[in-house]
A = this chain, B = another copy of it.
Amino acid sequence: MTKPEALSNMPAKNTIPGFYGRFVHGEQSTLAFWEITAGSVSPQHQHPHEQITYIAEGIFEMEMNGTKYMMQQHDVLVIPPNVPHGGRAVEDCKIIDSFSPPRDDYR
């Protein structure tokens, strides 16, 4: 991407049931835009990428390192590399995640 692009022009990837993501990749980071259907679950997982999560809309029950948090609209969370996490959309959610290094598995 060498000039601005509209998110709506980028195809969404259905990575796991109920999770639809659009991914903007740089060389050092990825910015991910998720639309998540209420009730959908991201099973516990971990990855070497640092993640910063922002709840743009909705409520998301996040479990990190064995502790559950009810994340509300406009909450943020840093998930360090290799820390187990996952969660469940309590409502329809829009979530923005930044990752560093980039999520090459989502290219």
Interface of A is mostly: strand
Q: Which residues of A contact B (CB under 8 A)?
A: 1-8, 24-31, 33, 50, 52, 54, 56, 62, 64, 67, 69, 71-72, 74-78, 80-81, 96, 98-101
Residues in chain B near residue A25, CB distance under 8 A: 78
Q: Are A76 and B27 in contact (CB under 8 A)?
A: no
Residues in chain B near residue A26, CB distance under 8 A: 50, 52, 78, 80, 100
A sample of 5 inter-chain contacts (CB < 8 A) reads A4-B62, A4-B76, A7-B75, A28-B101, A98-B100
Known: A1-B76, A78-B1. A96 touches B54 (CB 8 A): yes
Known: A8-B74, A74-B8, A76-B24. A29 touches B3 (CB 8 A): no
